[in-house]
Amino acid sequence: MLDKDSPFNREGAQGDGAEQAEEAKLAADSAAADAEVAKLASDLNELRQTLMRRQADFDNYRKRIEKERADDAKRHTARVVEGLIPVIDGFEHALAAHREAEYENYRKGFELIYKQLVDNITRLGVERTDEHEDGTILQVFQPGYVFHGRVLRPAMVRVAVHPGGASKEAAN
């Protein structure tokens, strides 16, 4: 057996303590590294989430701006068309007033300009609202105009009214 004071026994005891200290240090370093990796992974995940939110916000912003631009373009076009409607009315009145033969060349020129003007606003998306059920419209004083579902000007018309039907409804 070895003596307590033997040099072999001291080295073995010192070796066990050093190994344990080394293992404890490695375990502490490993735990610290694991904590650091976990923190970095958490930070990375948080940054990814923030990036995804920012991308979604930007996409929503882009869509909103595109819609606002389209709406602005429609509003501006509607203003231009509203300004042209009285011009079309003037052409219609001028064409209706001169039916005599001496005005035929004058009339053809007006008809050509009128057709070009109406064709251009039709291409912009304007619809003329002078088509109604048979028998309800007696005379159209001013045609109505619709632009992308919005009434620019309602039609001004004379409507046939049946006196028998109106008085019965008023009585009830």
**Span 139-160, pLDDT tens digits:** 888 888 999 888 898 888 877 7
**Span 34-48, pLDDT tens digits:** 999 999 999 999 999
Termini Cα distance of the chain: 128
**Span 47-74, pLDDT tens digits:** 999 999 999 999 999 999 999 999 999 9
Tell me the domain boundaries of the chain: 8-124, 128-172
Q: What is the mean pLDDT of residues 16-43?
A: 88
Q: What counts of helices (H) and strands (E) characterise the chain?
A: 3, 5
Q: What is the pLDDT of residue 17?
A: 75
pTM given for the model: 0.52
The two three-digit tokens of residue 105, written as one number: 């060349």
Cα 134 to Cα 154: distance, rounded to the nearest angstrom: 19
Asked whether 89 and 142 are in contact (CB, 8 A), the reply is yes
What sign for the dihedral angle of Cα 122, 123, 125, 131? positive
3-state secondary structure of 9: helix
Buried b (16+ CB within 10 A) or exposed e, 45-77: eeeeeeeeeeeeeeeeeeeeeeeeeeeeebeeb
Neighbours of 117 (CB within 10 A): 14
Q: Could you tell me the CA-to-CA distances from 13 to 24, 83, 170 in Å, in that order? A: 17, 104, 117
Q: Looking at the domain that runs over 8-124, which CATH code has it been given?
A: 3.90.20
Asked whether 94 and 107 are in contact (CB, 8 A), the reply is no
For residue 153, the cross-strand partners are 145
Asked whether 126 and 81 are in contact (CB, 8 A), the reply is yes
